[in-house]
Each structure stands twice: as structure tokens, then as C-alpha cells.
Amino acid sequence: MADELVHYSAADAVATLVLDSPHNRNALSRRLVTELAAGLDRAEADPDVRVVVIRQEGPVFCSGADLSEAAGGSMEEGARGLISLLRRIVTLDKPVVARVAGAVRAGGIGIVGACDVAIASDDATFALTEVRLGLAPAVISLVLLPRMHSRSAAMTFLSGSVFTGLEAADDGLVTWTTPEGELDDEIADICASFAKGHPQGLRETKRLLNKALLEHIDAGADEMAALSARLFASEEAREAMLAFLNRTKPA
């Protein structure tokens, strides 16, 4: 459908979910999160699909939380919705691969962290910008802290600075990087390799790999959802978000 924010297609044992919400740079609006979760469900239910790829349309993989929604009301529901989405990626019975190019910011990095494999272009850019808006990467820490080296997490979480795909690989955030012109071929090779797996083998091996990560998500979900909601509701964060939105409005 032309107005959908997440496009679904399947071929050669691979389901592809394309984030396509250009008006807010693929931000994690409630609608996009709902459509992405529905796409994951559809892929899991298709017996011909062995692997799922998440990618974007346009120059931004995901810009993070939809600040226009966040500035207008409670984020408790949004925080829990994002946790549910991250958990769905982790628990899906099929491997999920992130194809990452362009810019990835804040909550969008959580999508990358939840995927089983993440391949980024060398010059993709990442930034955990929450700290600059009076926030913290609370919800996405559930999947990032188990992946990233602790010193790297401290530097990236506290500074909000931009780092590259190559640095993200060194930090443990992505699996590896490749020149952007070779990214599609790299993803195709990985998917072809995964597609050779038996469905039961893929399912049980993924559960084995993600057991500790899932336990970490479930243990911290309520606390991180509450923290996220409290920070988004704070006067300090609301002022910072409104100032940011005013700066980014077209003239």
C-alpha cells in the first residue's frame, strides 16, 4: 500500500521489511512500530521465509523516537511499545539481519542492537543523542549494554557524539562493516547462508544465542519503561525537545 510506513516483500526465503517514513526520517512513531511488528509476525508465519532483513528507504535508517509524539503526551505507552518490538526481534524464530546505511540515531540504534546480525556501511553514522535532550537511552539500553563494550557504551551514551560504522563495529554494536556499494551483496550472501539452515535448527540456535539477552530485557523492562516515561515527561526534556523541533522545522 502506498501509505504504509513499512513495506513487506518476500523472495528466495528472505522477507524484507523496509522502513519508509520520510516525513520524520523513519522515526519510531507508534504507527511505524506497529507496522514493523506486524511485518515480523507475517515473516514468522510464512513457512517459506528463513531469514528477515530490516532496511530503510532514503538516507536515514531511523532517527529515533518521534519527538512530535513525545512532546505531546505520555511516553509510557510508547516506551512499552518499543520494548515489545525489540523483544519481538530477539524472540523471532528466524534470524533478523539489519542492513544499516546512512544515519542512525537514538532509538533507531536499539533496532540495530536487537537484530541477530547487523551489517553497516563503513560511513554509516550513529549517535545516542538522548543525553542532549535531557533524556537517557533507557529502553534501548536493554539490548545495547549486553552487546557493546562497557567503555564504548559510556563514551557514546554520555557524549551523544556521532560515530561511524567502523567505530560501531569496534564497539560491538554491529557485526561488521563494508563499503556502501558492496552492502547489498554482503547482505545477500549472509541471507543465502542463513537460508540453508533447517527451520528448527535456526529457531533453536537463535534461542540458545539470545537466552541471556532475553532474560536481561525481561528483568529490566518495567524499570526502563518507567524511567523513559519519567524523563520524557520532565519539564527539562519537554523544553529541550520543543527547542529541537523548532530548530528543525522548515523555514
> What is the per-residue pLDDT across 12-44, written as a single tens digit (0 to 9) for each?
999 999 999 999 999 999 999 999 999 999 999
The model carries a pTM of 0.95
Mean pLDDT of the chain: 95
Tens digits of per-residue pLDDT, 226-239?
999 999 999 999 89
pLDDT at 246: 84
Own/partner pairs for 197-204, CB < 8 Å, 24+ apart? 197/50, 199/47, 199/50, 199/93, 199/94, 202/50, 202/51, 202/93, 202/94, 202/95, 203/93, 203/94
Q: Are 66 and 23 in contact (CB under 8 A)?
A: no
Per-residue confidence at 160, pLDDT binned at 50, 70, 90?
Answer: very high
pLDDT at 75: 78
Pairing of the two strands 96-100 and 60-62 = unpaired
pLDDT at 10: 98
**Residue 205 pLDDT exceeds 70:** yes
Rounded Cα distance between 59 and 57, Å, is 7
**Residue 250 pLDDT exceeds 60:** no
pLDDT at 251: 41
pLDDT at 122: 97
**Residue 249 pLDDT exceeds 90:** no
Q: Give the three-class secondary structure for 145.
A: coil
pLDDT at 99: 98
pLDDT at 124: 98
Tens digits of per-residue pLDDT, 38-56?
999 999 999 999 999 999 9
Alpha-carbon Rg for the chain, nearest whole angstrom, is 17
What is the residue type of 226? A
pLDDT at 74: 63
**Residue 1 pLDDT exceeds 80:** no
Residues 143-165 have a mean pLDDT of 98
Tens digits of per-residue pLDDT, 60-106?
999 999 988 876 556 788 899 999 999 999 999 999 999 999 999 99
Tracing cell 536493554 back to the chain, one arrives at: 142
CATH class of 6-180: alpha beta
